Amino acid sequence: MAAPSTTHEAADRDAAARPLLGFVALLGGVLLLSAHEIAVRLPALYVATAAPAWRVPVALALGVGGAVGALVARRARRPELVLFGSSCGLAIALPLAVGVCSVALAAGGMPIAALSGAGGCGLLLAAVAVAATRVFARPARLIGIVEPALAPHHVLGGLVVFVAASVGTGALGSQRTALALGLLACVLALWSGQLAAWLGAAPPPRWRAWLGGAVFVGLLGALGARELTLPATTQLTYANEIVWGTRDGAHEIVVTSGQRNLELFVDGRLRVSGLDQHRYAEALVRPAMAAVERPRAVLVLGGGDGMLEREALGAVGVERVVVVSDSPVARYARRAPWLRALSRDALADPRVTVLEAEPIVWLGESTELWDVIVVDLPEPFGFLEAKSFTVGFYERLAARLARGGVAAIQALSAFASPAASASVQRALGEAGLVSLRYRAPVTTFGEWSFLLAGRDRPRVSGARLEGGRFLDPMTFEVGLVAPADTHPAHEVRPSTLHDQVIVDLLVQRVR
């Protein structure tokens, strides 16, 4: 007669164990993933790239916050209330910490953002863990879920799920991951009260359900707003993780972080990499500045991020630099501390003027003459961009060159697309300009080609090339040599406004 009774008791114990075991599994997952976000990903994505000197203080803030949270939860008279409040607080604090750090990339204040985020989230994480232990440890022992929960196959399965979830968060991005964990923390907050009541405690008051529900709905709204700004599929198009992004009119501006390096993308195309931006900027601008005796007036078509402007301002005698671009990137570059540091605050120099206009239209309407014109416009993968690589565009450019003036033009990669690069040089010739081709190795772009053009063949003063981080007279001389595999395999035509052959040459990688 004892066997049936024992069987019924075991069945009752198993039924009672399932909700508690599920809660413990969710609790462990949320705590581990949230700790990973705050202790590992946030410092790696934001602090190490934007404020590396603050990594140790941020770690200390996380530890101090955790100690304070544990102490408060341990001494609290109503641990179930602390568990609810700290879970709701974590649901808000985690996305807020990541969001504030993201904003700090664009507006400054990264140390304060990271310190407050790490300290606050550390406090709440510890409070949740300690309060949950106080509320549910004894029922867990009585019901007997401790041994099953610590079984090797359960622990191994949990580790596999944790590793898979950690890897998967890279596809979501830090901001969506924080919002998703916030939603789970809300579920924990609401579930904790119901579970405690099921185990014999007093039922939670209604205001808890209303408060938890409001936080949950708010987080869902934030997730939806994020999706409207930058869809989740956008992350899949970038190698590194998006840490800041927005849409400004028809343009998409994105900042990614990886390997302690920030990169700026405009409309999906790499604009600035903290790793090697100096190579591209020096290779494009410095030879042109060294080919003009007194470069007082400089026009930059494209640019706007401060890198080309920095190199132009570095030349002796420059009185004004005008930037003409149809991209809003300059508005971001003026605020973002990491870009301001890379450009040495070039856009704040009183000699620099930024105009938002279509370069080809602005050239046709302008009457000013320029000693140096720097052209850094997007590659012509479509007809919209290809108009700036045509004979008509370069004719307008030639009309704006002062006597003895020189134009510096990014001419694509002669290694990857020899025919397209040669078409740019042919278009310059048809516009009446004599050009000089050279190349430079740029880590993030590969080997890139540039053209110096003027009414006469430009002559670069080697002495004026001294002083750069990358480009010096010897590097420039080496770049003048064109390897055999950078020559087009056949004669190419120049691109015109009515026959933009460069698009097919570039898209099809014609050699």
List CB contacts of 197: < 8 A, sequence separation 6 or more. 203, 204
Find out whether 172 and 235 touch, Cβ atoms under 8 Å: yes
| Continuous segment of H or E residues that includes residue 214 | helix 206-229
- Regarding beta strands 370-376 and 297-302, do their DSSP bridges make them parallel or antiparallel, or are they unpaired? parallel
Alpha carbon 407 to its chain's center: 32
Find out whether 450 and 439 touch, Cβ atoms under 8 Å: yes
Between CA 184 and CA 195 the distance in angstroms is 16
Q: Give the torsion sign (CA, 10, 11, 17, 21).
A: positive
Phi, psi of 163 (to 5 degrees): -65, -45
Which among 203, 374, 379, 398 has a CA at the least distance from the CA of 303? Answer: 374
Find out whether 461 and 290 touch, Cβ atoms under 8 Å: yes
Distances (CA, A) of 390 to 396, 425, 496, 497: 10, 10, 5, 6
The neighbour count for residue 276, using CB atoms within 10 Å, is: 17
- On the 0-12 / 13-18 / 19+ scale of CB atoms within 10 A, 485 is exposed
Helices (H), 76-151: 79-107, 110-143, 146-149
Count the alpha carbons within 13 Å of 237 in the hemisphere toward its beta carbon: 14
Between CA 137 and CA 139 the distance in angstroms is 6
Between CA 425 and CA 412 the distance in angstroms is 11
Q: Among all residues, which ones are annotated catalytic? A: 376
Which DSSP string corresponds to 247-267?
A: EETTEEEEEEEETTEEEEEET
